Amino acid sequence: MRQNHVAKWILEITGVLLFLAVLFPFFIVVVSSAKSPFEITQNPLGLPEDWSNLYKNIFYIWTDQNIRYQSSFIASLAITAGSLLFLTVLSSQAAWVLVRTKTKLSNFIFVLFVAAMVIPFQIVMLPLVSWFRTIHDITGVKLLREYAGMFLAYVGFGCSLSIFMYHGFIKGIPKELEEAAQIDGYSDFQIFYKIVFPILNPIHVTVMILNGIWIWNDYLLPLLILGKGRALMTVPLAVSTFAGAYVKQWNLIMTAILMAMIPVVAAFLLAQKYIVKGMVAGSIK
């Protein structure tokens, strides 16, 4: 009994230490957002002398036209929402077809999607930009510096994991539901969107949150496709404008990071029970 009691205390202390270690970066961001540049350099771990600096920094970042944080925030919202819409619709459709079409070809295609998850983005990032330029030269469709290029890239890189998650969930849906709808005269399109698609709500939320966090925080892909210092930028690109070659405005950098974190943290807290439910249901089924 004494050994179990000691082991329990060790686990609890370890859990508290891990919690503090995870929470520490958030603490640094919050307190640094309310400091002046002098305070950050002289006392980086201490509390700020005047918390009103936080509101001043937020107001400055949000209203300054040279920073263009408002337009970057709107662009990030549009890119994230549009990419998630395409990802959920197209990935769920593809997974449904792969599950219900039980052939060697469908199994091979599914294996290709799973294998694509292990390909590092750094290997394909330069060929991707070259391919986008080639498409523009051949078809006249502009993908670089445009929303369309971002949508296409995020759907391409995010569909592998999304299809994998949808595939596991759809296998647990009784096929008799679709057969009954087929007897009632439903087309394949109606069967999917009226019968299958609503059942996928738990996994929809899981896919959207996991991909949404990645898309919202991504820096490298928008840098390659949109470029830095242009009219169309995302929030991570706008945050990086505060870090120059010789001067780094740490108080503004931390404030901009805090402003970028709030939507993601809020969305995760609101949908965390659906995330766990979707992942557990998909793994069991």
| Each residue's pLDDT tens digit, 188-200 | 888 899 889 998 9
Residue 111 has pLDDT above 80, yes or no: yes
Given this model, what pLDDT does residue 229 score? Answer: 67
- pLDDT category of residue 9 using cuts at 50, 70 and 90: confident
Q: Which residue has the higher pLDDT, 66 or 47?
A: 47
Query: What are phi and psi for residue 164, nearest 5 degrees?
Result: -60, -45
Q: What percent of the chain has pLDDT over 90?
A: 21
Q: Which residue has the higher pLDDT, 231 or 182?
A: 182
Given this model, what pLDDT does residue 216 score? Answer: 92
Given this model, what pLDDT does residue 153 score? Answer: 93
- Average pLDDT value for the chain: 85
Across 220-237, average pLDDT: 84
Give me the DSSP letters along 2-22: HHHHHHHHHHHHHHHHHHHHH
| Each residue's pLDDT tens digit, 56-98 | 888 888 887 777 788 889 999 999 999 999 999 999 999 999 9
pTM of the entire predicted model: 0.85
> What is the rounded CA–CA span in Å between residue 146 and residue 242?
24
Residue extents of the structural domains in the chain: 1-50, 64-284
Residue 284 has pLDDT above 50, yes or no: no
Given this model, what pLDDT does residue 230 score? Answer: 67
| Each residue's pLDDT tens digit, 128-138 | 888 999 988 88
| Each residue's pLDDT tens digit, 137-186 | 888 888 888 888 999 999 999 999 999 999 988 888 888 888 888 888 88
User: Distances in Å between the alpha carbon of 92 and those of 171, 213, 230?
Assistant: 12, 19, 34
Given this model, what pLDDT does residue 173 score? Answer: 86
The dotted CATH code for 64-284 is 1.10.3720.10
Across 244-250, average pLDDT: 64
Give me the DSSP letters along 24-84: HHHHHHHHHHTS-HHHHHH-TTSPPS-THHHHHHHHHHHH-TTTTHHHHHHHHHHHHHHHH
Q: What percent of the chain has pLDDT over 70?
A: 91
Residue 2 has pLDDT above 80, yes or no: no
H/E stretch holding 268 reads: helix 250-284
> What is the rounded CA–CA span in Å between residue 190 and residue 183?
12
